Structure formats: structure tokens, C-alpha cells
């Protein structure tokens, strides 16, 4: 089964990492994959565009089925291989509702962080508008506080006592946040959650390769 799968991915990309965690959780090791470089623009290559016309990673194919949106790919894997590996979506209606809510809600943090990081990286300092920087920081801070509160109420995982699809979707974004300067002292529940999950086998097995080799070179989230 896994041999019929092909993943084009980029190291450190939360969307790519989500799919890789899901593959590990469903015991689908052995899938075909290829690491591409964002810095070299390889995500815009014909190889990617043939699978994903948007020129984005991940690009995922299972047989003739193509699923490029990372959350959709994770859901596809869970539904196609329900009885294999770890169940990521519970059958209990109340638990399932919370998992779905947190999974979709997790995309908000990803967007808030992207807004802040991309503005800082792509806009020369002399061209930045203080109001835009302030607005992006306030938006990201408010979002982080929501998640700190969620974990205060439900922990140790996002949707309660068991690891679920919500964690698959959320953790890569949070891990990137801590790599880019987010303070565990300011967000102790998120920090504890990060420390708990980073040792999970599926996450350790898919940890971004360049993170293991290189320390972070920027900390745009240190003031959040």
C-alpha cells in the first residue's frame, strides 16, 4: 500500500510535516518521497506542477488519487486506513466533534504566524509599517492565548486525553513557532504540550531534517 504513495515535500514546512506525521501514525512507512528545496524554487518545478498546479508543497499521490491540501491528505489517509495504525478520529460523537473543531481551528494559528513571519522576512525594514507589524503581532498573540486556554481546559492533548488528528494538524505549526523564538515561559501549557509531543515516535521519525542539522537563524516570534 505505502509503495503506491508518492510525496513531494519540503523540510520544515508545517503542511508537509502534517502529512508525514499522519503517514507514520497509520503505519505507512515505506512510501516513496522526494525532498525538495524551497530556497532553490524546486516547489515550482514541472515535477511538482504536474501533481499540484499551485506549485506548492506537499504534493501527494496515492495510486491515481491526488490530494495536495495537507489537512485533506491527512483526512484521506485516516479514512482509507481506518483499521491500520493509530485511530486519529474517535467514534464517540462528542469526542469527534471536538477533534474536528480543533483540527479546523488549528489552521488559524498557522495563518497568523505566516502573516507575521512573511511580512518580517519579505518587507525591508525601512519599508515596514509599524501599524502592520503591531497588528500582525497582536493577532498572533491573541491566537496563541486561545490555544494556551484550550490546553488549560482539555490537555494533555488538544482534544482531550488522546492524541488525535487535531494534534497532527496543530503540532508542526507550534514546533515552528518555538523554533522561531516563541517563549515557553509565556505559554507554559503550549510549552509542555510541545515537550510531550516532540518525543512521540511519529513526530521524531518525521522531524525536519535541516532542524536537526542547523540552529535557527532568526527569532521573529520572540516578542509574542
Architecture of the 2-80 domain: 3-Layer(aba) Sandwich (3.40)
Q: Pick the more confident residue, 94 or 214.
A: 94
pLDDT of residue 167 exceeding 80, the answer is yes
Domain borders along the chain are 2-80, 93-213
Closest CA to 99 of 75, 68, 134, 70: 75
pLDDT digits (tens, 9 = 90+) for 45-62: 999 999 999 999 999 999
What is the separation, in whole angstroms, between the first and last Cα of the chain? 43
Percent of the chain with pLDDT over 90: 77
The whole-angstrom separation of Cα 201 and Cα 208 is: 14
For residue 177, name the pLDDT band (cuts at 50, 70, 90). Answer: very high
What fold characterizes domain 93-213? Answer: Glutathione S-transferase Yfyf (Class Pi); Chain A, domain 2 (1.20.1050)
The whole-angstrom separation of Cα 46 and Cα 53 is: 9
pLDDT digits (tens, 9 = 90+) for 103-125: 999 999 989 988 888 777 666 66
Number of Cβ within a 10 Å radius of residue 121? 9
- Cell numbers for 34, please give them: 522526494
Amino acid at each position: 500500500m505505502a509503495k503506491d504513495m508518492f510525496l513531494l515535500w519540503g523540510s520544515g514546512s508545517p503542511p508537509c510535516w502534517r502529512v508525514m506525521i499522519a503517514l507514520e501514525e497509520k503505519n505507512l512507512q515505506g512510501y516513496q518521497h522526494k525532498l525538495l528545496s524551497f530556497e532553490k524554487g524546486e516547489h515550482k518545478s514541472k515535477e511538482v506542477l504536474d501533481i499540484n498546479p499551485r506549485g506548492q508543497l506537499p504534493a501527494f499521490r496515492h495510486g491515481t488519487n491526488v490530494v495536495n491540501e495537507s489537512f485533506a491528505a491527512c483526512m484521506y489517509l485516516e479514512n482509507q486506513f481506518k483499521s491500520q495504525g493509530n485511530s486519529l478520529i474517535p467514534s464517540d460523537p462528542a469526542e469527534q466533534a471536538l477533534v474536528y473543531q480543533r483540527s479546523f481551528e488549528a489552521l488559524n494559528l498557522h495563518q497568523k504566524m505566516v502573516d507575521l513571519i512573511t511580512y518580517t522576512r519579505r518587507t525591508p525594514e525601512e519599508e515596514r509599517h509599524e501599524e502592520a507589524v503591531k497588528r500582525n503581532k497582536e493577532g498572533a498573540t491573541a491566537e496563541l492565548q486561545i490555544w494556551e486556554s484550550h490546553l488549560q481546559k482539555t490537555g494533555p492533548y488538544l482534544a482531550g486525553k488522546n492524541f488525535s488528528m487535531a494534534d497532527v494538524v496543530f503540532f508542526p505549526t507550534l514546533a515552528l513557532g518555538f523554533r522561531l523564538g516563541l517563549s515557553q515561559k509565556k505559554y507554559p501549557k503550549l510549552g509542555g504540550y510541545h515537550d510531550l509531543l516532540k518525543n512521540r515516535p511519529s513526530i521524531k521519525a518525521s522531524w525536519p531534517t535541516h532542524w536537526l542539522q542547523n540552529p535557527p537563524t532568526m527569532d521573529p516570534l520572540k516578542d509574542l
